[in-house]
């Protein structure tokens, strides 16, 4: 009893101390991030249009969405983009990280150089790739023409055939460094003794990778896949600069669709509703993906 009475005020005191220290971040986060977010979610259930009144409309936006051809197309290309870019960045990032973890000469130089795309402003990334793809001055057309592989320059970003591969190549390019960096840090935490033991048992390089590296990398892999899925599904800047969603809405990813609904057509309520659907999709993916991952780990 006496212990209780001494403990309670002390722990309350500690809580107060902690809150005081957290106050400088909590006020701006509440004001600039939390409250707008909650309001944004709410706007997704209203028929708010730019400059108009906000009035609650329930699930009306979502009913419209069900029959909105453009919405479904943008979700389709959104999934394609997210799946391909995430898979390629994970695969290529892992290969690069493994190569950089072999203790080769110049590794630290390589590691710094590989980070170049990551640290560039997204706008500049877009501008650079636009220059590469440009029909009259672009490196790709010039090189392919010189090599005799194509007769006439191709306008990669406005071609129905090439626009999607073109944005994927540019997208993966920007995401490899992040994945490789995370994987490299993860590889460094695997104790070398595990490999030495496997080597003594005569395990091949491949089976070492399968039975030591992959299992040890699982947590970091799960983190990178989750983050990449979110970031890729929410991608905006790069595509905006490259294609603005064209040709004919072919590369109109969900974020671009939402942006256009809000800022071009003024359907803010509908744009927020698209945002809400995106949150639900991402949450569902994370829920199922992480559940599978965690289950496997405890087994």
117 touching other proteins, by CB under 8 A? yes
Tell the smallest beta-carbon distance from residue 279 to other proteins (Å): 6
Binding marks (x or -) toward other proteins, 55..94, rule CB under 8 A? -------------------------------------x--
Binding marks (x or -) toward other proteins, 172..201, rule CB under 8 A? -x--xx----x--xx-xx------------
List binders of other proteins among 7-46 (CB under 8 A): 14-15, 17-19, 21-22, 24-25, 28-29, 31-37, 39-41, 43-44
Judged by CB under 8 A, the stretch of 73-81, 108-116, 156-164, 287-295 that binds other proteins is 108-116
List binders of other proteins among 214-273 (CB under 8 A): 227, 230, 234, 236-237, 241, 254-255, 258-259, 262-263, 268, 271-272
Tell the smallest beta-carbon distance from residue 188 to other proteins (Å): 6
99 touching other proteins, by CB under 8 A? yes
**DSSP notation for 260-278:** IIIIIS--HHHHHHHHHHH
287 touching other proteins, by CB under 8 A? no
């Amino acid at each position: 009893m006496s212990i209780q009475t001494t403990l309670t005020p002390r722990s309350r005191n500690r809580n107060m101390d902690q809150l005081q220290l957290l106050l400088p971040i909590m006020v701006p986060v509440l004001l600039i991030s939390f409250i707008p977010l909650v309001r944004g979610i709410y706007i997704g259930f209203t028929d708010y249009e730019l400059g108009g009144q906000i009035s609650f409309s329930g699930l009306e936006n979502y009913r419209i969405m069900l029959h909105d051809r453009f919405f479904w197309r943008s979700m389709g290309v959104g999934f394609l983009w997210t799946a391909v870019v995430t898979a390629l960045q994970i695969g290529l990032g892992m290969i690069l990280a493994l190569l950089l973890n072999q203790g080769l000469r110049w590794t630290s130089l390589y590691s710094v150089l590989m980070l170049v795309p990551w640290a560039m402003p997204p706008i500049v990334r877009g501008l650079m790739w636009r220059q590469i793809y440009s029909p009259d001055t672009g490196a790709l057309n010039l090189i392919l023409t010189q090599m005799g592989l194509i007769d006439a320059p191709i306008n990669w970003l406005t071609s129905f055939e090439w626009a999607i591969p073109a944005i994927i190549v540019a997208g993966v390019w920007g995401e490899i460094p992040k994945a490789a960096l995370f994987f490299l840090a993860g590889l460094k935490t695997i104790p070398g003794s595990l490999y030495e033991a496997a080597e003594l048992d005569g395990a091949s390089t491949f089976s070492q990778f399968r039975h030591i590296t992959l299992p040890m990398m699982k947590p970091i892999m799960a983190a990178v896949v989750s983050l990449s899925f979110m970031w890729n599904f929410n991608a905006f800047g790069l595509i905006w600069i490259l294609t603005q969603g064209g040709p004919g809405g072919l590369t109109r990813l969900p974020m671009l669709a939402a942006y256009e609904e809000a800022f071009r057509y003024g359907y803010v309520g509908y744009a927020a509703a698209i945002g809400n659907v995106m949150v639900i999709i991402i949450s569902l993916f994370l829920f199922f993906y992480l559940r599978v991952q965690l289950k496997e780990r405890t087994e």
